[in-house]
Amino acid sequence: MRTVYLNGDYVPENEANVSIFDRGFLFADGVYEVTTVVDGKLIGFDGHIERLQRSLNELKINYKVNREELLTVHRELVARNNIDQGMIYLQMTRGNPGDRDFAFPPEDTPLTVVLFTQEKQIIGTSIETKGLKVVSVDDLRWGRRDIKTVQLLFPSLAKMEAKEKGADDAWLMQDGYVTEGTSNNAYIVKDGKIITRDLSNDILHGITRKSVLACAKLLQMEVEERPFTIEEAYAADEAFATSASGFTNPIVEIDGNKVGTGKPGPVGDRLRALYIAENMKAAI
């Protein structure tokens, strides 16, 4: 049985209880982060902590994140659950006001803080060689997708729509342009140029995205940050998606159209290799 963290305590997962009045449960009033673990070490930890603070600030949750404290909890959970490869999920909600009310509870209401581990193979999966299939789905999420909130119902519905159509994931569409995947940022490659949507409130500012674009720079690859249409994606030479737990995943089919050769492409492969090398060096 896993040991999880709840509000200062390490407890067996079946003893971790949260109130039915918790704002996270009643209003999806909370934020989260997912940090990847490889060889028992954390990838991109500081990026996740910075984004966590930003998400809290944007929701007007008055809380100062303590990096050292959270680093200790992450490491402790990795050790106690003996995680070699996988993820640490962290969630903070506006806490338990003791009743249901649209107005925020008093500012001194303690947040609910939950962290748990998930074991998952990160390096050397079959996705690296086979790639993923996606279908396009209208993006019906709210207008602040830059905040990493726990209201993930629409991405979950879109993922299921994709699975029903025989695909692995959905690429979400707004006004004919791709925003991102259900839980990843989206990229195409055309004539050697990497194209990915620019940062705004329309997409999550991926920690992996930032690192992968830095890798592209190191490799002297050309990057264009702008929205791209689904038709451009059909006609691309390559496509891929990035996320903490997937690194860079090749996309080999979009709406039934083969992307390029229909196999993972060289740009994505090179980026993945450099991303892993750089981030393993910096892992803590």
Binding site residues, ligand PDD, CB under 6 A: 34, 180, 183-185, 204, 206-209, 242-245
- Supply the minimum distance, in Å, between the C-beta of residue 136 and ligand PDD: 15
Residue 175: other Cβ atoms inside 10 A: 9
> What is the closest distance, in whole angstroms, from the C-beta atom of residue 243 to ligand PDD in the complex?
4
148 as an active site residue: the answer is yes
Annotated catalytic residue, options 41, 64, 120, 148: 148
94 vs 197, beta carbon nearer ligand PDD: 197
Q: Given the complex with ligand PDD, which of 74 and 209 has the nearer CB atom?
A: 209
CB of 248 to ligand PDD, least distance (A): 10
Q: d(Cα 279, Cα 284) in Å, to the nearest integer?
A: 10
Strand order in the sheet with 112-119: 9-12, 3-6, 112-119, 86-93, 30-38, 41-42
In the bound complex, what is the minimum distance in angstroms from residue 32's beta carbon to ligand PDD?
Answer: 7
Task: Tell me which amino acid residue 47 is.
Answer: G
Residue 180 or 253 having the CB closest to ligand PDD: 180
Q: Minimum Å distance from CB 207 to ligand PDD? A: 4
- Please say which residue, 134 or 204, places its beta carbon nearer to ligand PDD: 204
Of 58 and 97, CB closest to ligand PDD: 58
Q: CB nearer to ligand PDD: give 214 or 235.
A: 214
Task: Yes or no: say if 239 and 263 are a contact pair by the CB < 8 Å rule.
Answer: no
∠ CA 259-261-265, nearest 5°, is 80
| Distances from the Cα of 80 to the Cα of 49, 175, 193, 219, 266, angstroms | 22, 47, 44, 38, 39
Q: Which residues are catalytic?
A: 148
